[in-house]
Structure 1
Amino acid sequence: MRHTSTNFSAGIFGPVTITPSDPYAAYSALRRSGPVHRIAGPDGSPSWLVTRYDDVRRALADPRLSVDKRSALPGNYRGLNLPPALDANLLNLDPPDHTRIRSLVTRAFTPGRIESLAAPIRRTADELLAPVVRRGQADLVAEYAAPLPITVICDLLGVPEEARTDFRAWTDTMLAPPGPDEARAAIGAMLRFFAGLIEGKRSVPGDDLVSDLIAARDDDDRLSDDELTSLIFLILFAGYENVVHLIGNATLALLDEPVLWERLRSDRSQLPGAVEELMRYDGPAPLAIRRFPVEDVEIDGVVIPAGETVLLGISSANRDTERFPDPDRVDFDRAVGGHLALGHGIHYCVGAPLARLEIAIALEALLDHAPGLHLGVPRSDLRWRDSIRTRGLLALPVMCWNADKTKRPGQ
């Protein structure tokens, strides 16, 4: 048995420092030093970090690695504690409950329903970009990358417009709470919001995903009340938060490489492949949801005891040179597929087709409306979320001008 011990505290894996602006050098050093590392998290809780592509991919599909917190050793789980009405979601469930609930969502996320969203997504993107182009400058996260996916996912679920700003504030508070009281307040507000939403849709069903899930709950009794609420919460939360950062990170990657930006401008047929490569290059989730072995599990010669916490390094795997040659470069000619940004196995992102559609449309709208898009501040001034679990910009200041303008704003 091999055993690598690494301390993690405030962004430091032993001698390796993970910085929000560039974590990939640290991931590279960790891959070189070993496939699996014993770490201590910011709160002192012990975990095992898996860093290499082949190991991460296999582990994502390994049924011995449970996502159910009941599989953890007593006191070993110190993550976010949600009430049962938000906690009984797919990211905390193993088969057979996971299989039962996921099948309901998969049937609701039909290709036809996703395809029907393309025109509304583009319309929303155009509306959001119109004032940006008129002004010639913007924070692209606050004014585009954030409101676009919240509009899309709320339309899909049937969430009324007046509740959408509140939801964005609640999710931001949950991800980076100023304190425990604020986090509890946000969770409580969410619970009341979902209870009201479900009650309203039960009384007056609509052509939306929440109404479909309520029908599954009430007509076929295939969901408990907590499962129904948790499922709506997960779809809304993941469908908003992850896509915000996918759009922001992908846009920045293109702004860093003007040749690739111009390449997409001239040939939109490359967008699908570009989306896959951009997700691989800088995805929003550095780590998969934590796992707990139901028995002792060996990963590349390292034995991880049952019940301990396992973290699977998605971002590290997506930059593994053994799987992706020259991985620190965006390469549109790279063979499409194989990245783990959307997961793998039974927990593969159920909303992956929608995420791909949103990113492609978001980028195409930018290419159409703001062909001269460029950073509005020095690259070194950009600030990232200070988290090893979320990879996303706090803001993306840009300058832009449309195809009819010959000069940049201010010239």
Structure 2
Amino acid sequence: MTIAASTQIEMLDDDFHTHPHTYYHRWREQGPVLRIHTPSGVVSWLVVGYAEARAALRDPRLRKSADGIRELFHQKHPTAPPNAPLANLDHNMANSDSPQHVRLRKLVNKAFTHRAIAELRPHIEQTTHALLDEMAEHDEVDLLTAFVLPLPVRMICDMFGIPRDEIPGFQQWARDLFRVVGDERAQAFRELRSYLSGLVARKRADPGIDLLSKLIHAHDNGESLTEAELEDMAVMLLVSGHGTTVDLLTTGSLALLRDDSLSNTLRANPSTLPAAVDEFLRFDGPIHLSTIRYTTEPIQIGDIEIPAAEFIHIAIAAANHDPALFPDPDHLDITRDASHHLAFGHGAHFCVGAPLARMEATVAFAALLHRFPNLHLACTYPDLIWHNNFGFPTLTELPVRLGTTSAHQGS
């Protein structure tokens, strides 16, 4: 099939963000690749098939350079406002290509190796149990505020050497970045960047053994991070370093709260938790759409030829629900082998924090299930409140009771 055979453009409206899989199922019947019109006005290609998504994620011809994206965006939208999202991308690993991406990745990889993360396990367990001790003092809590958000925030803050008395401020920024929209989110982001700029200056003058100090003084064959790269890298690692885990803990906790048999199975067989975490990631992972890519030459994806100078999104959520690879994909099944999901990406841009997210989630769910065997929703499922977070619904709170009487959960 050529581009001429796929000229229809699908609109992404608010209903898509509320019920994305309804759209993905329909689009998948048309083929693994289609064109979409995003709410921001950008026309892009969308990859929904698993095989095609996996291939696209590792294809070096699909570029991610912030400067390249910005230039192409202005070519296509010359009258766009200067604060348009694609005109203001940071220069970090997520928005860079080789050789810059390789250089940046080398400078942070050592902090996120499996061995380095394994050494963090005692601290993760200690922090987890301390948070659960605080929860135990109440009959009812918002699980997001009491546990889901503070655990990964404390871990990434400790890795960055953020003083303990400054963590509450960072936790509030993290909460705002994931729960508010518009000007409030923009303000939280500005405050976070300003804080990090000051923290970098402090670490430069008085370095420690933390990750940020290592990034400031890291060298690879004589190369180091520029000041702009350092700030952008710090923002990316701090935000994505906890954000991915927050979403994983949220969706996994909700799955456990809605299915007593699932909770009982995992409580009785804690060794199956790593596989369950992979299934949580496949079923409702933290990333629904990949960050944007673009073509500099014609590229074949599946049987579609995409011309040069085109934007491309990869629908991670759609690929992880492709029935060609995952039978009955809309059913959460912790007995399936979901280890080949794409929730953390694939190829050169595979999420550097994946081992940390997996470790934190496994420890957190094991401790939560053991400590509170009667944990249950404090409201019905339809009463939960969601908001639009980067185009996809996110819970604003997750009220739970620690006692023995379960609320009717609804469907």
Q: Is 1:42 matched up with 2:39? A: yes
Q: Secondary structure at the match of 2:324?
A: coil
Number of equivalences: 395
- Unaligned ranges ≥5, structure 1: 12-16, 402-406
Give the corresponding residue for 1:18: 16
CA contact (8 A) 2:178 2:389 kept: no
**Paired residues for 1:9-408 under 5 Å:** 9-11=12-14, 17-20=15-18, 22-72=19-69, 73-75=72-74, 76=76, 78-79=84-85, 81-82=87-88, 87-171=90-174, 173=176, 178-180=181-183, 182=184, 185-216=187-218, 220-387=222-389, 389-390=391-392, 392-401=394-403, 407-408=404-405
Deviations 1:290-328 (A, max 9, x none): 101121222222222222221100001101100101111
| Structure 1 position 145, deviation (Å) | 0.7
8 Å contact from structure 1 (residues 287, 389) kept in 2: no
Distance in 2 between residues matched to 1:141 and 1:321, nearest whole Å: 32
Residue 184 of structure 1, CA deviation: 5.2
- Counterpart residue identity of residue 55, structure 2: R
Tell me the TM-score normalized by structure 1: 0.89
The DSSP-based 3-state class of the residue aligned with 2:388 is coil
Q: Which amino acid aligns with 1:68?
A: S
8 A contact 1:284–1:390 mirrored in 2: no
The offset of 1:4, in angstroms, is: 4.9
| Structure 1 contact 283–391 (Cα < 8 Å) conserved | no
Q: TM-score, normalised by structure 2?
A: 0.89
Partner Cα separation in structure 1 for residue 274 and residue 177 of structure 2:
32
- What is the identity, as a one-letter code, of the residue corresponding to 1:79? P
| Amino acid in the other structure paired with 2:217 | A
Q: Mean Cα displacement is larger for which, 313-322 or 71-80?
A: 71-80
Contact 1:383 1:394 in 2 (8 A): yes
Which amino acid in structure 1 is aligned with residue 211 of structure 2? L
Deviation of the 1:256 alpha carbon:
2.4
When residues 130 and 58 of structure 1 are mapped into structure 2, their CA distance, relative to the original with a 3 A threshold, is: same
For 1:221 and 1:95, how far apart are their aligned partners in 2? 15
Q: 1:37: Cα distance to partner?
A: 2.0
| Change beyond 3 A, Cα 1:174–1:275 | closer
Give the RMSD, CA atoms, in angstroms.
Answer: 2.4
CA contact (8 A) 2:200 2:212 kept: yes
Would you say the 8 A contact 1:67–1:291 is kept in 2?
yes
User: Alpha-carbon deviation of 1:244?
Assistant: 0.7
Paired residue type of 1:333:
T
User: In terms of mean alpha carbon deviation, does 26-35 or 280-289 score higher?
Assistant: 26-35
